[in-house]
C-alpha cells in the first residue's frame, strides 16, 4: 500500500474504533460513554460507527466523498426532499440537563439543520440558519421565546458548530470560538416529536449541502473555554478525531 493509503487506513481506525467513541445509549448492552446519545460519522451511511437501538430512517440522503472535511465522505442533502429522521426517545429530551450538541456543516443556503418539533406551539428545540444569515439555537414555546444567536454563516465551507448547556447558561461556539452566552433557567421541555436532521417540518423546508460528525451528549457540558469538561483529545479538522 502507498503512504497515502496507509494514512487513510490509520485515519479510518482512529475515527471508528481506536478511542471507543462508537457506542453509547442508556439501554445499550455495551456502554463505552453512557452520556453519548448520538454519533453519526456519515461514512457511506448514517449509522455505521456503533451498535445502538435507535430507529433511524434515511429519507433519500446520499453520501458523497468530494466534499469531505477530513476523511472519506459526508452526508449530502439536496434541498428538495431528503433528510434523516430519528424516532422519539427520552434520551433526546434535555429538560434542564447539561448537554452538548455539535457537528460539522458545509451549507449552500439557509434553513433548519437539526430540529425536534412539528409546529410553532409544541415544546421543541431547533438549530437553524436564518434568512438573516446567522446561526440560531432556539427552544421553549414560541420561536423567539428563548434563543441563542451567533453571526455569521459561512457558505460553501466547513464550519464546526457546538451548542452547550451548563447549569443555567447556554453557549454557542463556532469553530471553537465562543460567540454567545444566554443565561436562562427555561427548560427544554420533553416532547414526543422525532429528531430530524436537515428538515423543518413547520414549513417543509429542506436544507442544502453537506453535514458530518453529528454528536449529542446528554448530562455533560463537553465544550471548553470556561472550565467545562473537555473532549479526551483536541479535535481539529485536519488530523485528530473526536
Residue 227 burial by Cβ neighbours in a 10 Å radius (0-12, 13-18, 19+) = exposed
- Identify the sign of the CA torsion 62, 65, 69, 70: positive
| Whether residue 238 has pLDDT greater than 50 | no
| Residue position matching grid coordinates 417540518 | 201
Choose the most confident range, by mean pLDDT, from 4-8, 132-136, 221-225, 233-237: 132-136
Contact 193, 118 (CB under 8 A): yes
Cell of 234: 483536541
Distant-in-sequence, close-in-space partners of 225: CB < 8 Å, separation ≥ 6: 171, 173, 176, 178
Straight-line distance from the first to the last Cα atom of the chain, in angstroms, rounded to the nearest whole number: 26
The closest alpha carbon to 82, from 46, 64, 58, 109, belongs to 58
Q: Does residue 188 contact residue 93 with C-beta atoms inside 8 Å? A: yes
pLDDT at 203: 57
pLDDT, position 48: 42
What is the helix (H) or strand (E) element at residue 209, kind and residue range? strand 208-218
pLDDT for residue 181 is more than 60: yes
Question: What are the structural domains, with CATH classification, of the chain?
Answer: 3-218 (2.60.120.200)
Higher pLDDT, 226 or 111: 111
C-alpha angle 125/135/46, rounded to 5°? 65
Q: Express each pLDDT in 7-64 by its tens digit.
A: 445 444 444 443 333 333 333 333 456 777 888 878 777 754 454 567 788 888 888 8
Provide the pLDDT for residue 21.
35
More confident of the two residues 64 and 195: 195
- Quote the pLDDT of residue 102: 87
pLDDT digits (tens, 9 = 90+) for 118-165: 666 665 787 877 766 677 777 765 445 567 776 677 888 888 888 888
CA 150 to chain centre: 16
Q: What is the pLDDT of residues 80-114, one digit of tens each?
A: 778 898 888 888 888 888 888 888 888 887 777 88
* Residue the block writes with cell 424516532: 87
Cβ 138 vs Cβ 128: under 8 Å: yes
Amino acid at each position: 500500500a502507498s503512504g497515502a493509503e496507509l494514512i487513510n487506513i490509520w485515519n479510518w481506525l482512529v475515527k471508528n474504533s481506536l478511542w471507543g467513541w462508537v457506542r453509547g445509549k442508556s439501554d445499550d448492552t455495551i456502554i463505552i460513554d453512557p452520556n453519548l446519545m448520538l454519533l453519526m460519522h456519515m461514512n457511506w451511511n448514517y449509522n455505521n460507527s456503533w451498535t445502538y437501538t435507535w430507529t433511524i430512517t434515511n429519507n433519500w440522503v446520499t453520501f458523497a466523498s468530494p466534499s469531505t472535511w477530513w476523511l472519506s465522505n459526508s452526508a449530502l442533502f439536496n434541498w428538495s426532499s431528503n433528510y434523516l429522521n430519528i424516532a422519539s426517545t427520552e434520551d433526546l429530551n434535555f429538560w434542564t440537563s447539561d448537554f452538548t450538541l455539535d457537528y460539522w456543516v458545509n451549507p449552500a443556503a439557509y434553513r433548519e439543520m437539526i430540529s425536534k418539533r412539528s409546529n410553532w406551539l409544541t415544546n421543541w428545540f431547533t438549530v437553524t440558519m436564518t434568512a438573516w444569515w446567522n446561526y440560531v439555537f432556539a427552544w421553549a414555546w414560541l420561536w423567539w421565546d428563548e434563543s441563542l444567536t451567533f453571526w455569521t454563516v459561512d457558505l460553501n465551507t466547513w464550519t464546526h458548530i457546538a451548542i452547550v448547556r451548563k447549569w443555567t447558561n447556554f453557549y454557542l461556539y463556532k469553530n471553537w470560538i465562543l460567540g454567545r452566552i444566554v443565561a436562562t433557567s427555561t427548560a427544554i421541555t420533553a416532547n414526543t416529536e422525532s429528531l430530524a436532521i436537515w428538515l423543518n417540518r413547520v414549513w417543509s423546508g429542506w436544507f442544502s449541502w453537506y453535514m458530518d460528525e453529528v454528536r449529542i451528549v446528554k448530562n455533560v457540558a463537553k465544550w471548553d473555554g470556561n472550565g467545562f469538561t473537555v473532549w479526551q483529545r483536541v479535535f481539529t479538522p485536519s488530523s485528530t478525531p473526536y
